[in-house]
Amino acid sequence: MFLFFHNKAVTLPKQTKNRHTMKKLFTSITVLALAIASVTPAYSLDRKGLAEYAKSLKGLKKAELKAQIHKISQVKNVVDYGSGSEKTWGAFYTTDRIASNNQCIDRYTAKEYYFGSKGSAINGMNIEHSMPNSWWGHTNNNAYKDLNHLYPSDSKANSDKGNYPMGVVTSPKDPNAFEKIGKGDAGTYKNINIWEPNDKWKGDFCRTYFYMVTTYYDLPWTSEGTKLIHNNNPWPTLQEWAYKLYLEWTRKDKVSQTEVDRNAAVYAIQKNRNLYIDFPTLAEYVWGDSIDVAFDPYTAITTCSDDDRYADYLPGEGGEPTDPTDPDEPGPDEPVIEGTVVFEEDFSCITGGDFTNTGTQWSGCDKMTATNGWEAGGVVKLGSGSKAGSITTKAGAIKFPGGKLCVTFDIKGWKTVEGKIKVSMTGSETQTKEYTATTSDDFETLTLTFDDVSANPQLKIETTAKRAFIDNIKVFVPKTTAIDAPETSAGTTNDYYNINGQKLTAAPALPGIYIHNGRKIVIR
């Protein structure tokens, strides 16, 4: 979970301060603090100021939208390449330095490097073109010097990455490396050299690529770059395989405060912005699920510190307790059940067996199907002494338009816990959770949050080894707080938006949470 650090003080948006996030907050403050660059708050724009900066994008779609982003994204102040206080390394001292200890943020390895004096290159590091300059013939142009895609990098990692396109590596040379270098084994990637960033930085690099192919689409792209770029093609510029993959990665690794702060610091130097960071759904309007919808910078979700809506856009974690000092939040033993319940199963259909003498094998009910499931007296036992087991909701059992969902269920193990539990929702990343309760204990409640869930998804719960008892499954829409009405010159409109700020083409018909005239509405 990415948390906002307003004016360098750790704060957690009210609507996210629940049992899904508080433990993550307390255990991650140190790590996240080390990811904050030395940025002056004045570099940032508030939501109103950002909308005015991007006002020329209003009403535009896909190709026209990308063309206008290209116009307003041009570098106004070019910094010379190399070492020196007024050159690249001097800029890195502002954009990529952790002020508390002078550590340099390296996106390519887990090694630790530290700055000396401002402008001095760090021994063992290079200035890395995240989009290789060989792709446009090594010309020393604005793209060659643009801080929006230049990052300090471990020298060996820089060399290993070479000028390969970014994609999915299925046959890495070193499976344990921080970034993967190797080949794919099928389709687009078969038998070509590629590099894959660490999961922590995938979204960052994708938004960097979106910026580059928008700001510099008209470069004479050559070499390995043609594997993912249509040469001099204004839109979409990226090959279909590339923008589909990069959109997938940005949906999973959403904009962090490190990106927001770096974007602001680069803006202070170059006087231009990466708008794909400022507006975290902008790429969807250029390449993704909203290409036929006109973009509106006055109503779109932003990463500005005064835009509380971004808290709902951020990814969540499951299973952690709430802050016990907050009287408005449920206690650590209470499951968080907020918003609309879209699926529920208490296994009352199971009448045979018990915890110590499970009954016959259970193939499912009218809502779910089971593999290696057994009757256990009002609950289901998944797996046996030698086999894992699973239950899956039937197609159509969960009616939901897509977005964020939460899952809660009760669980206990056999006489000892025999493995972790794995939970998946269609369209979102599978999560694996630990639990400690056994047959002699009360049930333990797990709650997980899933982002980017597909419409009408299927839920699957499965053991990773042997047996576990499952009861009281609920799938629900997490609570969303109302937002301030968007500031526009024309006042409110009759438009509808999903909670990611994407405008709908018509009034919503499916159940879900939407924004209408700046307020939250729930359709059941």
SS (H, E, C) 76-113: CCCCECCCCCCEHHHHHHHHCEECCCCEECCCCCCCCE
Chain centroid, CA 294 distance in Å = 23
Q: 403-413 and 519-523: which strand pairing?
A: unpaired
Domain boundary assignment for the chain: 5-151+198-313, 341-476
- Map residue 131 onto helix, strand or coil: coil
Q: List Cα–Cα distances, 454 to 155, 397, 425, in angstroms.
A: 40, 13, 8
Rounded to whole angstroms, the Cα distance separating 505 from 495 reads: 8
Rounded to whole angstroms, the Cα distance separating 269 from 92 reads: 11
pLDDT for position 510: 67
Specify the residue for token string 């009218």.
Answer: 366
- Map residue 431 onto helix, strand or coil: strand
pLDDT for position 356: 86
pLDDT for position 478: 79
Rounded to whole angstroms, the Cα distance separating 164 from 354 reads: 57
pLDDT for position 490: 35
pLDDT for position 166: 94
Q: What DSSP state is assigned to residue 394?
A: P
DSSP letters, 296-324, are -TTTS----TT-TTHHHHS----S----T
pLDDT for position 124: 96
Q: What DSSP state is assigned to residue 437?
A: -
State pTM to two decimals: 0.58
Residue 199 sits at φ, ψ, to 5 deg, of -55, -35
Residues whose CB falls within 8 Å of the CB of residue 302, separated by 6 or more in sequence, listed in order: 47, 50, 51, 278, 279, 280, 310
Nearest to 1 by CA among 251, 309, 312, 315: 315
Contact by Cβ (8 Å): 216, 71: no
The two tokens of residue 389 are 């087991």
pLDDT for position 371: 94
pLDDT in tens, 313-353: 654 332 222 333 333 333 333 333 346 788 999 999 998 99
Length of the chain: 524
pLDDT in tens, 179-238: 999 987 656 667 789 999 999 999 999 999 999 999 999 999 998 999 999 988 899 999
Whether cis (ω within 30° of 0) applies to the bond prior to 236 is yes
Contact by Cβ (8 Å): 84, 78: no
Beta bridge partner(s), residue 376? none
- Rg of the chain over all Cα atoms, to the nearest angstrom: 25
With respect to CATH, is domain 341-476 assigned 2.60.120.260?
yes
Which amino acid belongs to residue 48?
K
Q: Where are the beta strands (DSSP E) in 167-244?
A: 171-172, 180-183, 193-196
- What's the CA angle centered on 130, arms 143 and 85, to 5 degrees? 65
Q: List Cα–Cα distances, 452 to 206, 338, 393, in angstroms.
A: 17, 18, 18
Q: Where are the beta strands (DSSP E) in 273-420?
A: 341-345, 368-371, 373-375, 380-382, 390-393, 403-413
Residues whose CB falls within 8 Å of the CB of residue 222, separated by 6 or more in sequence, listed in order: 134, 135, 136, 137, 231
pLDDT for position 57: 96
Which residues in the chain come in under a pLDDT of 70?
A: 1-43, 185-189, 311-339, 479-494, 498-506, 509-514, 516-524
